[in-house]
Amino acid sequence: MFRKNTNLYIAVFLITALVFSLITVYAAGEPKKKSISARAAVLYQPDTDSFIFTKNEHTRLPMASTTKIMTALVALENSDLNDTVQIDSSAVGIEGSSAYLKEGEVLTMEELIYALLLRSANDAAAAIACHISGNTESFADMMNERAEALGLKNTYFKNPHGLDDEGHYTTAHDLALIAAEALKNDSFKKISSTYKKSFATEDMTRLYVNHNKLLNMYDGAIGMKTGYTKKSGRCLVGAAERDGLTFITVTLDAPDDWRDHMALFDLGFETLERIEFAAEGEYEYSLPLLDGEADNITVTNTEGASVITRRGDHEINKYIKLSKFATAPIKKGEIFGEIVFTLDGEKASSVKLVATDNINKKEDKGFFKKLFEKLGL
């Protein structure tokens, strides 16, 4: 009887422990999504093409002025920053945020993109569109072609500024991919991470101040775009770089967007880390050289190696594979070995060891030439 009761107590204890553990897991994971105010949100790591956090990521929603990320990308890919743009009448007096452009005045494309990304100027968006493709409708077609080239299935643009328009939508997932593509453009990255910028002409000076508070609120923030209409709610795309890691955050219809983004960034930097295996030129070896004008050749790694992985205690090892000697002639960049790096017993990365110089084969002078040199003839 005692043994039966003991087994019963043990069974009840194990079942209770299992239920408690499930409740704990649920309680630990679920509030994270509930604590994000946004209707849709993602945390994206572009180097690994991984989504660390998602919430309604494929729900089609209006995106307000975060539209302008694609506007800027298409503009930068189809014009030069030094291009001069004469402001068309159709770009004047657009509702919402404005640079207060005047018909006929001339600005550079650079200034218009600063106005677009910092002040979120809707008239600048229209001016850019008219300059590049003649009108906003044709420019929206270019935006959609670029979205299609990125493989996006749930994004469609009807205008370059993001004002409410039926059929103008994206998803948190797609917007993160657009942002990642834009960050590859050095000019976009520089402009979107600028807090303020002024441009002066003979007639006036315009000062553009970035609406993105993350630049001053979060360590490592580098952009990228705010947005708001009554229909879309508060929309925000953010980006931050720290310790060799880049994260992109997207929230659509988020009453508490600044806090949402900082919480998502914290999650990213607490979850992942970049492990550096080798810096460029860190490893250098000398090999004996046969039949060469020199006795040795130097080989090194001309590229670095790193990996992004989950934070934790990792076992890192390296294995060097290197030729015992080399034979002339040698071409710079010729491969003579590699270093393989393992992480927790699995191959994670490698670097090639290559010759640093060209080395010719030693000239064969022959018996008589050597004799004449010896005799001084």
> Which alpha helices (DSSP H) does 202-251 contain, by range?
214-217
Please identify which of the residues 120, 133, 349, 350 carries the catalytic annotation.
Answer: 120
65 tagged catalytic? yes
Q: Report the C-alpha gap between 244 and 279 in whole angstroms.
A: 13
Helices 172-183/68-77 angle, 10° precision: 30
3-class secondary structure, 128: helix
Q: Report the C-alpha gap between 130 and 143 in whole angstroms.
A: 13
101 contacts 92 by C-beta, under 8 angstroms: yes
283 contacts 274 by C-beta, under 8 angstroms: no
Please identify which of the residues 55, 65, 232, 350 carries the catalytic annotation.
Answer: 65
68 tagged catalytic? yes
Helices 122-133/68-77 angle, 10° precision: 30
Please identify which of the residues 32, 33, 55, 68 carries the catalytic annotation.
Answer: 68
- Pull the structure tokens for residue 347: 């191959």
21 tagged catalytic? no
Q: Report the C-alpha gap between 68 and 97 in whole angstroms.
A: 12
Give per-residue burial for 231-248: e unless 16+ CB within 10 Å, then b: ebbbbbbbbbbbeebbbb
Residue 47's contacts (CB-CB under 8 Å, 6 or more residues apart) are 245, 246, 308
Helix or strand (DSSP H, E) at 174 = helix 172-183
Residue 277's contacts (CB-CB under 8 Å, 6 or more residues apart) are 304, 305, 306, 307, 316, 318, 341, 348, 349, 351
Query: Can you point out the beta strands (E) in 182-232?
Result: 196-200, 205-209, 221-229
User: Catalytic site residues?
Assistant: 65, 68, 120
